[in-house]
Amino acid sequence: MDDIVKAALVKWPNVPHCYAWLGLDARGNWYMRDDRVQAIGGFASGVPGAKGSLLRHEKLVDFIQRNYEHDERGCWYFQNGPQRVYVELERTPLIWRVGAGMQIAAHTGQAARLLSCNVDEEGLVYLATDLGFGLVHTQDVVHIAQAIEDGRLQAKAAIAAELPVRHGYVTSPAAQPRTKLR
């Protein structure tokens, strides 16, 4: 967490949390969701326009990613100064980028060590790592497939709807009972 964020938390300890205004898609992209967009539908609903506006400002995206964490309920959030901005997830809290040599990094840029691999009923690939659980970016599934074919990796079958409970994350904090303050 950035030092400026830590200082803001101390200075303003009782700022209300924010829900449904930020989303993370299945490719590791961040979306801003204003009131109008939220009224269209849930982030993962698939309704046209419900995702919101893709964030393209590199420094803003880097700031979000450096201050991206989860609470004790498994809800992921961006600590924006003194305010927690809870994140709506299209699939998982982390999106993995995988290199040809099986180097694994989260969409946030953090390197990770592989613990296990799952494939769901749609053929989507998920990794459990020392940083947490997430979906493999669609462009990198080829590297996982090659590792499975070569016998370097074994994938277990999974049911997508069961993954949040099994791995302790919440896809829609806005749909959960809300906590107002830290």
Instruction: Please check whether residues 79 and 103 belong to one and the same domain.
Output: no
> What is the reported pLDDT for 22?
98
% of the chain exceeding 90 in pLDDT: 86
Number of structural domains found in the chain: 2
Instruction: Please check whether residues 78 and 117 belong to one and the same domain.
Output: no
Cβ neighbours of 96 (radius 10 Å): 24
Instruction: Please check whether residues 111 and 161 belong to one and the same domain.
Output: yes
Torsion of CA 17, 22, 75, 66, to 10 degrees: -90
Instruction: Please check whether residues 81 and 24 belong to one and the same domain.
Output: yes
**Which residue range is the domain that position 162 belongs to?**
94-167
Instruction: Give residue 110's pLDDT band: very low, low, confident or very high (50, 70, 90).
Output: very high
The stretch 157-163 carries a mean pLDDT of 97
Residues 135 and 26 sit within 8 Å (Cβ to Cβ): yes
> What is the reported pLDDT for 87?
98
> What is the reported pLDDT for 178?
67
**CA distance linking residue 130 with residue 112, whole number of Å:** 6
Q: Is residue 182 part of a domain?
A: no
Instruction: Please check whether residues 23 and 10 belong to one and the same domain.
Output: yes
pTM of the entire predicted model: 0.90
Q: Is residue 146 part of a domain?
A: yes
